[in-house]
Amino acid sequence: MLWSVKGGRHGEYEQLMLDKSLVLLDWDDLGDLRQLKTRVDIEAEYMRLFPNASPARRGNHVGQLWAYAQEMQGGDIVVVRMKTRGAIAVGQLTGPYEHRADLSVRHAHPVNWLQTDLPPDRFGQDLLYSFGAQKTISRIRRNNAEARVRAIAQGRPDPGLAIGAEHQQPQPGEETRPRRRSTSPNSREMASVPISRDASRATPSPGSWTPSSKRRATRRLSHHQGRMAGWTSSLVLARWGSGRRVSSYR
């Protein structure tokens, strides 16, 4: 699995993570997560500590805590897009969750850092979008991301750049489901459709008008004006109920 992790709201734990070879989670209101065996247990403890949290916020946080404590395992790849250095660190977890009472940030995963100073331009734009997700802990699954990050950590180019995968990933907050192709005609298609059913009667441009085309245009204008007048008369008579309604112009 591939995980994106943040080293604090402002990157304040990034250097500690590198120095201690740990992936840290600053959520010390909660105790040892190993004591919470199920997701229901984590949710119950969260609700005890934060009773006023909205259902959406609670679900978001509980999901991240469960992923960090139970789903992240040794062998997984983690990526930290560091806010303090403008670089990206890539590591491989070497063990399960630990509760470190000896540290100021107590939730930890041991990690072997493979790279700690990768420039962002080594990664496709789709991966950078995923690394910029708002969640502290998020799993990245799209576009063969794990294999690509492993290749980059080994010094190889991003394989996704060769196939244009950077154009397949939406930005943070956008819909992740594939967009349906619109069945409505676009402007170019509509421009090719003649205004008149009879192409020979289509109104010519003013610069190419002939005396006969001007006469046709005048007759058509009079025709439409007559229809408008008939409709207006019918509406007026119907509105005020004066006599029998005359038939509209057809």
Q: Cα–Cα distances in Å, from 115 out to 1, 78, 108, 135, 230?
A: 17, 11, 19, 22, 80
Mean model confidence pLDDT for the chain: 78
Whether 110 and 32 map to the same domain: the answer is yes
Look up tokens 């008579």; give the residue: 237
For the question of whether the overall pTM of this predicted structure is more than 0.75, the answer is no
| CATH code for the domain of 80 | 3.10.590
Residue 202 placed within a domain: no
Cα–Cα dist 26/6, whole Å: 10
Q: Is the dihedral of CA 27, 30, 36, 39 positive or negative?
A: negative
Domain that holds residue 130: 2-167
Residue 217 placed within a domain: yes
Do the strands 98-99 and 107-118 form a parallel or antiparallel pair, or are they unpaired? antiparallel
Query: What one-letter code names the amino acid at 196?
Result: S
Count of structural domains, the chain:
2
Residue 48's SS3 state is: helix
Whether 41 and 137 map to the same domain: the answer is yes
Residue 193 placed within a domain: no
**Residues 146-199 pLDDT 10s:** 999 999 999 999 998 876 544 444 444 433 433 444 444 444 444 444 434 444
Whether 14 and 138 map to the same domain: the answer is yes
**Residues 118-149 pLDDT 10s:** 999 999 999 999 998 888 999 999 899 999 99
Within 10 angstroms of residue 57's Cβ, the number of other Cβ atoms is: 12
Whether 70 and 163 map to the same domain: the answer is yes
